[in-house]
Amino acid sequence: MIITLNQINEMEKLYRVKLINSLSGFKSANLIGTINNKGITNLALFSSVIHVGANPPLMGILFRPLSAIRHTYDNIKETKHFTINHINKSIYQSAHQTSARYDENTSEFSACGLTEEYSQTIKAPYVKESKIKIGLEYVEEHHIEANDTVFLLGEIIEVLLPDDIVNLDGYVDIESAGTLTTSALDGYHETKLINRLSYAKTDKEIRPI
Amino acid sequence: MIITLNQINEMEKLYRVKLINSLSGFKSANLIGTINNKGITNLALFSSVIHVGANPPLMGILFRPLSAIRHTYDNIKETKHFTINHINKSIYQSAHQTSARYDENTSEFSACGLTEEYSQTIKAPYVKESKIKIGLEYVEEHHIEANDTVFLLGEIIEVLLPDDIVNLDGYVDIESAGTLTTSALDGYHETKLINRLSYAKTDKEIRPI
């Protein structure tokens, strides 16, 4: 079937939100850990983390409109540091629970049963129960005029992960670490590798590697 | 293990690219279809498409540095239209092959064995073999200073998808449509739903829905 922009605009709000959120495909499922200058930690679920570049190592996150309450964004602006923590099957329900509207004096770590872990380098808390954790420092942000959202960039300062999931060529086997993927607003999925494919060239067949 | 920024900066280039590309988690796997004013079509694989908002319906894509050859970006600027097409198991190898460096007079559609499909509304070609296809119009772009990449936003103008994958609440069952997810630069994965979870509230247990 064809859905037109007019039909989208006429949809009931929640129906539209779920439908449009489904369309980009599978998303990353990460918990972002932050701390404010008073020492109160925050943990929030994001499905909008993307790779931005390898040199310098950069990741980007899309934040909801400036008008909404955004403790994560405020904390990053205050302390410059944040952590990105992959979600796995043993913590996906706790991770989902962090999206409830806790007030700013409540840490989602304690409210949702997850454990803070700190490194020497990054002020913000990691999630101990996560297997792949990245510490980042604020770099720049862009205000999206079309809907008042913010695209924020951070530089990777350190990476904490198990030794045995880093392949010889640098590929990190996030599937064997149990990292999940998410769909729309509430779907959590395990993955099963079909293949890694060789670098594509115009004059050569690609092959599984 | 802990990997520091110094260690990242000292990594061999391709190793670093693969490692850093792995860290954001699972990614969307989409083919972006465009056409230029001469009528030459282009099809390119992107793992950086994200949801930006539902009202207005917006999606974002991160493009590589301005210095690289980017037919997709140039075509979008020229004609304002582009399509986003989900990758499924029957086309993932053809989709991967579009990432080879074809010259600007060669269409990846014919070179990689995929079929152009057109609607009444969008100038750019859809991929016939894809099950979930979105037609978009250029809205705005942001230049990322840290690494010279571009974050580009489009508004969803129409959506083409099978009737039977849209749930009553608006959730699109992209897994049953066979949509794949990707890891790092070259991993293609099927998914298996664990659960959809109910909307999280501070005073209520979340449950599978």
With contact defined as beta carbons under 8 Å apart, do B172 and B133 qualify?
Answer: no
A122 touches chain B (CB under 8 A): no
What sign results for the dihedral spanned by CA atoms B157, B190, B91, A174?
A: positive
pLDDT of residue A70: 87
Asked if A160 lies within 8 A of B2 by C-beta distance, the reply is yes
- In chain A, positions 93-112, which contact chain B (CB-CB < 8 Å)? 93, 96-102, 111
A192 touches chain B (CB under 8 A): yes
Q: Select the residue of B16, B99, B190 nearest A191 (Cβ to Cβ).
A: B190
Which run of H or E residues covers position B207?
Answer: none
Using a CB-CB cut-off of 8 Å, the residues of chain A touching B108 are: none
A-chain residue closest to B157, CA distance: A5
The per-residue pLDDT string of chain A (209 residues; one tens digit each, 9 = 90 and over) reads: 999 999 999 999 999 999 999 999 999 999 999 999 999 999 999 999 999 999 999 999 999 887 777 899 999 999 999 999 999 999 999 999 999 999 889 999 999 999 999 999 999 999 999 999 999 999 999 999 999 999 999 999 999 999 999 999 999 999 999 999 999 999 999 999 999 999 999 999 999 99
Residues in CB range of B39: below 8 A, 6 or more apart: none
Q: Which residue is it, tokens 């770099």?
A: A139
- Nearest CA to B201 out of A43, A17, A97 is that of A97
User: Is the pLDDT at B68 greater than 80, yes or no?
Assistant: no
- B204, exposed or middle or buried, with CB in 10 Å at 0-12, 13-18, 19+? exposed
Using a CB-CB cut-off of 8 Å, the residues of chain A touching B47 are: 51
With contact defined as beta carbons under 8 Å apart, do B16 and A54 qualify?
Answer: yes
What is the ipTM score, two decimals?
0.96
Quick: pLDDT tens for B120-173. 999 999 999 999 999 999 999 999 999 999 999 999 999 999 999 999 999 999
Quick: pLDDT tens for A26-46. 999 999 999 999 999 999 999
A209 touches chain B (CB under 8 A): yes
Rounded Cα–Cα distance for residues A119 and B9 (Å):
20
Any idea what the Cα angle at residue B183 is, between residues B181 and B185, rounded to 5°? 120
Residue contacts between A and B (CB atoms, under 8 Å): 361
Integer CA distances (angstroms), B139 to A144, A146, B63, B77, B157, in order: 10, 7, 15, 10, 11
B150 touches chain A (CB under 8 A): no
Best residue in B2, B20, B117, B206 to probe A by mutation, most A CBs within 10 Å?
B20
- Structure-token pair, residue A176: 């064997």
Rounded Cα–Cα distance for residues A86 and A180 (Å):
8
pLDDT of residue A76: 97
**C-beta neighbour count of B88 within 10 angstroms:** 19
Pairing of strands B2-4, B126-127: unpaired
Rounded to a whole number of angstroms, the distance from the CA of B45 to the nearest CA of chain A is: 11
Rounded to a whole number of angstroms, the distance from the CA of A97 to the nearest CA of chain B is: 5
B29 touches chain A (CB under 8 A): yes
